Each structure stands twice: as structure tokens, then as C-alpha cells.
Amino acid sequence: MKTHAITIEGMSCQHCVAAVKKELMNIPLLTLDDVQVGKATVQYDETQLDASTLREAIHNAGFMLVSIQ
């Protein structure tokens, strides 16, 4: 598993943090390390989980994934 820093656009408060956290926690094979306003840190195996899954989860929370590093 590799650690990835995700930049998220549109978050402004702790309610936003909770919404993103809830969506990311529902993704199998993903370990959620931290969520803060505008960013998240996660761990996953790139051979088993596609970035589009993360993009969709963040979109479902009402925000936009800007980048994954």
C-alpha cells in the first residue's frame, strides 16, 4: 500500500470534512489516514483500487478531487 495526498476543492468547514470522510471510509481496500479542509491522506494499492473510485466518492460528498499525489 502506498500513501497518497489528495487535494479537494470546495471544502470549507468541518461538515465538509465529515462528508468526505464518510464517503472515503466506504471504499473497500482504502485506509483513511486523515481528512482536513481541502485535503485528505489515504493509503491504497494502485493495482487494486482505481483513482476514479476516489474521484466518484469525493464527488458524491459534493466536492471535486483536484489531484492525487
pLDDT bracket for residue 45 (50, 70, 90): very high
What pLDDT does 59 receive? 98
pLDDT of residue 6: 97
Structural domain count of the chain: 1
5-44: pLDDT as tens digits: 999 999 999 999 999 999 999 999 999 999 999 999 999 9
Mean pLDDT over residues 44-55, rounded? Answer: 94
CA distance linking residue 32 with residue 15, whole number of Å: 17
Structure pTM? 0.92
Determine the structural domain holding residue 28 and report its residue range. Answer: 2-68
Helix-helix angle 14-25:51-60, to 10 degrees: 140
Give the CATH number for residue 60: 3.30.70.100
Q: What is the pLDDT of residue 18?
A: 98
